[in-house]
Amino acid sequence: MAESAQEMQISMKPLLDTGEGADLTLVCRGKTWKVHSSYLWPRSSWFKAVCKGGFKESETQRIELPEEEPSMVYRMLQHLYMQTYTVDLGLDRFWSRNDSWAKTRLHVHAQMYSLGDKYDLPGLKKEAARRFNEDIRIPGDSKSEILTLLSVVPIVYTTTPDTDRGLRNHVVRQVFQRYGIASKHFVEELDTALEVRQFARDIIVLHSKRSAKGKYAALAREMYRIWHRYVRPLLAATIASFPSAATLQARLLMLVTLICSLTVVIVLGFILLGYALTLLEQRYGPHSVWARHLARVNSN
């Protein structure tokens, strides 16, 4: 299967590069490609509407994309023809007329995902998300990798709708895990990323969920420890110490009284424990760290 896909990529590349038999012209900031509409509109409802919807492009057989970067449009065409795209950062530097060219692989994947969303190319979105997820799982925590991660946040959050979690979940989790180094070495870059309000909200939500899970797990472990170490032996000893001559009603009354007393003590103990954990969480927990960081960003 992999060999057949590779063979298809090799066979389709000359068709894209030469434009032989093309019936459509695609223009982006001075770059022109001769393309085949039969490869575009079956994979994209946007291109289908343009090519067959009675617009002027269907008459002139010319589509202009002035808002896009030429290198990204070329990669989009690569995917339409070959079901993949290359990541050659030199291409971005050569074709870009401003400082918006992609500086890392993550930037390329994020912008390709954005194009897939904009031009309704689900296959491109899936491919870009897969490769973004692979490249974002970087081994170690080097400063350059974290700086790249922070710089890609605005692209991910400003080029796709809020309901699209394809890349956002990956970014939030990775920044969450690397907060210590980011807050120590890249305070300004971290503040810039947190100025993207939706990203800041996602960070707080993630911290709240993980903090709550940890707190509830600790409470469950403490409840089991108290039961196993104190309550269970006490109940067993109380039942064993009942006088053999005592009536059944007396035993039941003593047992109910003991259980009620222990229940009150345990409930009060866990209320105090929960209150103490809440205070510790508010003072030292990761949620409070991010909350204080956000408060500082908002005050500037």
Residue spans of beta strands (DSSP E) within the chain? 24-28, 31-35, 62-64
For helices 286-299 and 187-194, the axis angle rounded to 10 degrees is 90
Tokens (6 digits) for 279: 């205070």
Instruction: Identify which of 102, 103, 113 has the alpha carbon closest to the alpha carbon of residue 169.
Output: 113
Residues ≥6 apart with Cβ < 8 Å to 232: none
Tokens (6 digits) for 151: 């710089």
pLDDT in tens, the chain (300 residues): 444 656 666 778 888 888 888 999 999 988 999 999 888 988 899 998 888 877 888 888 899 999 998 999 999 999 999 999 988 877 666 666 555 545 788 889 999 999 999 999 999 999 999 999 988 875 555 677 788 888 899 999 998 888 899 899 989 888 887 776 777 777 788 888 888 888 888 887 777 676 655 555 565 566 667 666 766 676 666 666 655 545 666 667 677 767 776 776 777 677 667 666 665 555 555 455 555 565 665 555
Pairwise CA distance, residues 254 & 242, whole Å: 9
pLDDT of residue 245: 43
DSSP 19-68: -TT--EEEEETTEEEEE-HHHHTTT-HHHHHHHHSS-HHHHHTEEE-TTS
Whole-number CA gyration radius for the chain: 30
Beta carbons of 193 and 154 less than 8 angstroms apart: yes
pTM: 0.69
State how far the alpha carbon of 57 is from the alpha carbons of 76, 107, 251, 294, in Å. 19, 30, 91, 48
Residue 34 dihedral angles phi and psi, to the nearest 5° = -90, 115
pLDDT of residue 72: 92
Instruction: Identify which of 104, 106, 96 has the alpha carbon closest to the alpha carbon of residue 68.
Output: 96
